[in-house]
Amino acid sequence: MAAKKTYSPLSPLAVYNLVSAGGWGYILYCVVAIYPLLGQPLFYESTKDIVTLVQCGAIMEIVNSLLGIVRSPIVTTVAQVLSRLLIVVGIFQWLPETPACGSVAYVTLLSAWSVTEVVRYLFYFFTLAFESGPPYILVLLRYNLFWVLYPTGVASELTLVYSSLAVAETKYSVYAKWGLVFTMLTYLPGLPMLFMHMVAQRRKVMKGLRAERAKKD
């Protein structure tokens, strides 16, 4: 979460980002090292709770945005966090028997989420704690990986939600099912809004990087 000034590396905001990067780094490790050993559905059953815990930490991003502690737009922040909470709480915890959770869709979801978040939180940590800002390679990753990771993550999320519809109706009610359908429909305006936000941010950052390199040359 980018802020307007440089903080101490030990400040609560900087530590939050570093700890969050570590949490998602552990999930990425699980994808790379644990999934090949366990396979599905054991991988899902052994990791869904830690994924839920790590993702719920992002609620602080909504709080920080509301309080003006960070400059993140409140609308995009709320949309991103709530869509994730729908998955980790609404499906992993309330509908854990959802068929697609035991498939490759869960693995692609964690892959996209964890790589995105490790890069994002490290980017914010360096932005907050060091006047020099994040390393050049981290900036490139932050503003280029989304071309692949964002569609992968969204496709995986929608696959899981769609797979949960019958389970939600059977376990709870038809209203729960249609609530999930409504949530899927919100992706129609939400997806282009969030994606174009990143495209606009990338254009601005890449322009600044090119200007800096031109000055050095």
- DSSP string across 140-179: HHHTTTHHHHHHHHHHHHHHHHHHHHHHHHHHT-HHHHHH
| pLDDT for the residue numbered 4 | 46
Give pLDDT tens digits for 61-101.
999 999 888 888 888 788 889 999 999 999 999 999 999 99
Angle between helices 74-85 and 174-216 (to 10 degrees): 130
Q: CA-to-CA distance for 132 and 6, rounded, in angstroms?
A: 10
Structure tokens at 35: 């999934």
Catalytic residue among 7, 26, 150, 162, which?
A: 150
Contact 190, 127 (CB under 8 A): no
Tell me the backbone φ, ψ of residue 144, rounded to 5 degrees. Answer: -135, -30
Cβ-based neighbour number of residue 112 at 10 Å: 23
Say which residues have a Cβ less than 8 Å from residue 163's Cβ, sequence separation at least 6: 98, 99, 100, 101, 105
| pLDDT for the residue numbered 2 | 41
| pLDDT for the residue numbered 5 | 56
Catalytic residue among 35, 61, 106, 157, which?
A: 157
The reply to whether 212 belongs to the active site is no
Q: CA-to-CA distance for 179 and 91, rounded, in angstroms?
A: 13
Using alpha carbons only, what angle is made at residue 12 by residues 50 and 198, rounded to the nearest 5 degrees? 70
Cβ-based neighbour number of residue 12 at 10 Å: 11
pLDDT per residue of the chain (217 residues) written in tens, 0 to 9: 444 456 777 788 999 999 999 999 999 999 999 999 999 999 999 999 999 999 999 999 999 999 888 888 888 788 889 999 999 999 999 999 999 999 999 999 999 999 999 999 999 999 998 888 899 999 999 999 999 999 999 999 999 999 999 999 999 999 999 999 999 998 888 788 778 878 888 888 888 777 776 666 5
Percentages of the chain per state (helix, strand, coil), in multiples of 5: 80, 0, 20
Q: CA-to-CA distance for 184 and 111, rounded, in angstroms?
A: 21
The reply to whether 29 belongs to the active site is no
